Amino acid sequence: MGFSQIIFSWTAIIPVIVLLYYFFRKKYTEQTVSSTLFWSEIMQETRVSPYLKHLQKNALLYLQLLALLLLVLALMNPYIKKSTIVGAQTIFIVDTSATMLAGKEQSTFDAHKQEMLNLMDELNGRPVTLITTGATPKAVLQQETNTSEIKKAIQDLQVTYETAEMNKALDVAQAFVGDTPTSIYVFTDTLDKKQLPMDNDSVKWLVRGATKDLTNIAITRFAATTDGQASLALVQLHNDTNTEQKVTLALNNAEGEELVAESVVVPPNEAITKTFKDLPLAKSMTAIIDAKDDYDIDNQQTVLLQTTTSKIIVDQGLHQLIQKGFQTVSSGVKIVPSLQVADNQDATIITNQSALLEKMDNPVVLFGRDDAEKVDANGTVSTSSDALFAFSELKDVYVSAVYPGFADYETIASVGEEPFIQRSPKGDIVVLADIADTDWPLHPSFPLFLWSTEQQLTESVGSLGIFSPNEQRAVALAQGDWNVYSQEDEFLSSVTKGMLTAPKQPGIYMVRSNNEEKQLIVQLQAQERVIEQGTSFTLGDISDNGKEEVSMTSFVPWLIVIILLLLVSEWEVQRRRGFTN
């Protein structure tokens, strides 16, 4: 504590003068009384409470002296020293991942927002850069000095549910530092000191983490499949606490009806897996636990029931360009000899064996035919508005020969008047040409067609699959205006040029175009289902002539308020005694 106007200390003589006045003023007045009968009783009351009587008699003096002393103190401008933000600029890195919603009475994210607002008083005009985390870090503010704009930007911050990917945000912050002395505040839940770049001597790192006593019980994995007659579900629970937890695990269908419920005991700091068999058929399932922990969002998870597999089998007899193409677009591709292809009933088959169209339960992709002779083809390739061609335009592809088409199959691409690509009623895709008879592999549309084919055949019917929050992904959709809607039928976004941006909150969503509808699921990533112990620390230092920069918080406003209250009290004392006295 200190005084910035010590020169006004001479005013202390004022209360001394008032005190001297009271010392030398006349203490009593002579007055004749008619009787002393009550004198002994009054003296007895005085002896019992002498201090109270003294205070009552001299209340006005004490109030005046206190007011004058506080006035002298105010003139000297007392203040308290407080460390403030150092450096020429300040950078806030704000973690907006889902785990920031963890907290007891207040989430970590809200606590950090309040701390940022409190730091506004220490900026002293320094420019502020505000960076949010995510797959693509965003600079919400850049070198902003307007305090109101900074506060508004902080108040408007929201959790995006994306994984933080803090290294990317740190790189963005480094781009704003240069050679300028900078204080960088990192508002997150936990951060390893090794992640901070310490090669710049002009940066001071101040990491603000979550509290260290947060507890969490999470659904870490949930999967469900069906064979068309019954459903099978697998749920994994993890207990992050040091005590045994008893929870109720329930599985609901898309309509919210409970399919099964079971009380589960989860050992401390361990994971358990529960399997549920012979469940009723459902389009989707939601697993819910009633855990009373500090992180609610990972207590629920939804999946779409899959009836197919992502395993892809490519006939070894096909052209190597087809084999390499599918291996490029999918990691689950196996090359199998022609005689063994039919043994893989649980996979998506890529072959030229026409007989497998009837033998296989799963969809088949046919490149050419082994049961017919090809004929010359003339003309250009034309396509329908099918989802397979959302990214692959075939108009410049040259085809010299094609096989006869299937009579009851839908033709979705033609060469002149001849069918080129067909789709069967059960979803098989047939390319009626040998790759050697086309220049298709020379066009970018070829791998895109293979990717679209893999997407359609390995996803369940009517589903676009699972997305992470705010994930941008190319989707194979038929031509048209596709929009994303919530389960409450609220419009959220549009699919632009085949790119779909998933909503930020986990759940089931619909993608619609006219009368066609597909579902998608948004799920938290695995790292957003784990709560780690919070960390807060400070690293680095910025020297300013060897002195730490401090701010001075003045007591004068509070002293003025107290002086005004004392003046009101003096007025009340004087009123009760009578102004004439």
C-beta atoms surrounding 297 within 10 Å: 18
| Side chain identity at residue 580, one-letter code | T
Q: Which pTM does this prediction carry?
A: 0.65
Question: Which segments of the chain have a pLDDT < 70?
Answer: 1-5, 18-58, 61, 79, 81-85, 306-310, 390, 458-462, 543-553, 577-581
- 411 with 447: CB under 8 angstroms? no
Predicted confidence at residue 41, as pLDDT, reads: 65
- 290 with 324: CB under 8 angstroms? no
Q: Name 518's bridge partners.
A: 511
Predicted confidence at residue 551, as pLDDT, reads: 55
- 163 with 127: CB under 8 angstroms? no
Number of H helices, E strands in the chain: 11, 33
Predicted confidence at residue 548, as pLDDT, reads: 46
C-beta atoms surrounding 252 within 10 Å: 19
Name the percent of the chain lying above pLDDT 70. 85
Predicted confidence at residue 460, as pLDDT, reads: 46
| Side chain identity at residue 59, one-letter code | A
Predicted confidence at residue 321, as pLDDT, reads: 92
What does residue 33 show for φ and ψ, rounded to 5 degrees?
Answer: -115, 155
Query: What is the Cα–Cα distance from 460 to 273, expressed in whole angstroms?
Result: 25
Query: What is the Cα–Cα distance from 339 to 391, expressed in whole angstroms?
Result: 34
Predicted confidence at residue 202, as pLDDT, reads: 85
**Residue carrying structure tokens 């998506």:** 348
**Residue carrying structure tokens 């196996």:** 334
Record the tokens describing residue 258, joined without a space.
């409970």
* CB contact set of 292 (below 8 Å; sequence gap of 6+): none
Query: What is the Cα–Cα distance from 542 to 549, expressed in whole angstroms?
Result: 10
Query: What is the Cα–Cα distance from 495 to 513, expressed in whole angstroms?
Result: 10
Predicted confidence at residue 421, as pLDDT, reads: 94
Total length of the chain: 581
Average pLDDT, the chain: 84
* CB contact set of 456 (below 8 Å; sequence gap of 6+): 387, 388, 427, 429, 476
Predicted confidence at residue 526, as pLDDT, reads: 84
Pure H helices in 76-107? none
Q: Name 484's bridge partners.
A: 493, 511
